[in-house]
A and B are shown apart, each in its own frame.
Chain A
């Protein structure tokens, strides 16, 4: 089963390799990973997507917690949360397909952020399923490049995750 986990870590030298090394060394799967500093400049927040049964997930969260650099681990899978991913998509366009491309962009509330005679570059945010959806519709026109950030998540409600 897919799990999205937030990890608050000390924003210090080598911390990314501690996390990624833990996953590779123990044979845990890692589908995506995004990292950035938090409001507290001493901390970074990682969002990672992994897969495994309950026992594997229990080990993953315990092992993450065991790292000295880890402040907090939250597995969002069993709670209410909002998931967002950013994608930049370079799609081929010509006189015939330009209008259709714009319609698709419009339907998905995406934005065209760069235009050339042969292409549109589209920016879209949303849950990963939404991004998969627009990619599906743009694919027939010819996708030249896709960059995805990997999802970030935040819990619903007034309560925040802090270190």
Chain B
């Protein structure tokens, strides 16, 4: 049967199991939208293309499925770039379809023309200009395959308007044939044995776990390995929900705003087992002092991550589920040696417990002003076990990582690599579309919130009951904190001088707005918000000059922490 390019696209999406797309129409995708009119695919109309990408990103992060976006050519397409770069840095599977001007006009500076393959080349895993109808089905097949396999990432398909209306026989390929793309899944068994040997010899081992564990859905394998070996676990921002933070061996986050005991453990360890993490500068601080006493095992599906920032003793390329499973299996065959390991590392765990007792993750409570950390603790206490938390970027994001007790995988959606303000609200929207019945809370700051606040309209239109908690200090707090600590309190352009009436803003969109200005209003506000069936914005007027601590100043080693103001 002959189909038009736009019908081929929608039919291919259906065959890929896509039931929801996020997007925004325009001239160069009008044919696709015409076919969507009668399609069973659920389309969520955001109020900005950037938000459509973050929404698809949030959807992908909490489901593990590929997020799908449609945007028009030119400005519609360029608006997606921040979202694509965000997904790229955090390795989120996504397919972005952008309209393009008709093929005869490409290169002519036509109306709403932008070279999207050129613009997105460095922030996509791969991209395509589908300028021949005969290639379209293959390209879509490959795009989904590339997006979800290996180290996942966003793939862009630029689809010219004339191709959308050209008819061609539709045959969706069964498999892909990509000579240059064959990700390694099975970990090399010799390397795994070497790793096991190092583990059994270690006296002060630490697991340093990153977002890869979530992408590989290897949370169970990690937990099993930890239970077996009793090795303490520190998680990066991207992996906070990948290991139950109530677990006695959980050390919380490491790095610039990591816990005292996580940073000390990494500094003092004799074996660092990096799993799906990439030695990012926010984690390592001064790189030459990072885990300098330790041998390093590094497991990752992406060979470029290994040996990029630090030298590695045992590199293992492979799928974490496979590698951790094999490692667990191998150690299982040596129960006496594992028993010896557990016994020999007992002192190490005692040392860590002493660090925990000496400097627990805490803050100075107040009766007069609302502490932002207190709000997050309350949200943590009052929400369901499977509640999904999203954040924007800044102080509130770090406090969320520090003070929310994560308990289930894929419940913490945050822009780790790119650090994109304005990510939290649209990604919460996407998560709520994926799970209409779960609690979804966007922990936000007053600065970040205003970067995509227009998405309140989308929440109300689709009755998505996202709860937004603005920790409002009328500052761009993280930059203000740096200015306080390193620039003699010269608060250059970080004071949000206009106090926004966020309650009225919420109400203008048809959402509910709640406000808490006193400590004893916090709980009631959260309770009320969770009970209201629709979207709710909570405005918490928090103590204005609260700092995120501990903090490792830029360029310092991670044990050189500022612990108190």
Residue ranges of A at the interface with B (Cβ–Cβ < 8 Å): 9-10, 13-14, 17-18, 21, 25, 55, 58-59, 62-63, 65-71, 163
Contact = CB atoms under 8 A, between A and B. Distances in A.
Contacts of A55: 307
B308 interface: yes
- The 3 A-B pairs of least Cβ separation, nearest first, read A68-B126, A62-B304, A71-B180
B126 A59 contact: no
B179 interface: yes
21 contacts: A9-B180, A10-B179, A10-B180, A13-B131, A14-B117, A14-B118, A17-B118, A17-B121, A18-B121, A58-B307, A62-B303, A62-B304, A66-B303, A66-B304, A68-B125, A68-B126, A68-B146, A68-B180, A69-B126, A69-B180, A71-B180
B180 A67 contact: yes
A67 to B, nearest CB: 7
Contacts of B117: 14
A21 B121 contact: yes
A86 B146 CA distance: 39
A15 to B, nearest CB: 10
Given A66-B303, A68-B146, A59 B129 contact: no
B560 interface: no
Given A13-B129, A68-B181, 5 more contacts: A13-B131, A14-B118, A17-B121, A21-B121, A68-B146
B122 interface: yes
Contact of B308 (A13, A14, A59): A59
Interface in B285-344: 302-304, 307-308
Interface of B: 117-118, 121-122, 125-126, 129, 131, 146, 178-181, 302-304, 307-308
A55 B307 CA distance: 8
Nearest to B117: A14
Given A10-B179, A14-B117, A21-B121, A65 B303 contact: yes
Contacts of B303: 62, 65-66
A28 B155 CA distance: 24
Contacts of A25: 122
A21 B117 CA distance: 12
A121 to B, nearest CB: 35
Contacts of A69: 126, 180
A163 B307 contact: no
Contacts of B179: 10, 71, 163
A47 to B, nearest CB: 18
Contact of B178 (A14, A18, A68, A163): A68
A28 to B, nearest CB: 13
Interface centre among B126, B179, B302 (most CB of A within 10 A): B179
Contacts of B302: 66
A46 to B, nearest CB: 13
Nearest to B155: A68
A58 B307 CA distance: 8
Contacts of B131: 13
A68 B126 CA distance: 7
A7 B350 CA distance: 53
Nearest to A14: B117
Contacts of B146: 68
A133 B180 CA distance: 39
Residue from the set B117, B118, B126, B180 with the largest chain A CB neighbour count within 10 Å = B180
A5 to B, nearest CB: 15
A45 B302 CA distance: 24
Contacts of A71: 179-180
Contacts of A14: 117-118, 121, 129
A17 B127 CA distance: 12
Contacts of B178: 68
A25 B123 CA distance: 11
B304 A63 contact: yes
A70 B307 contact: no
Nearest to B126: A68
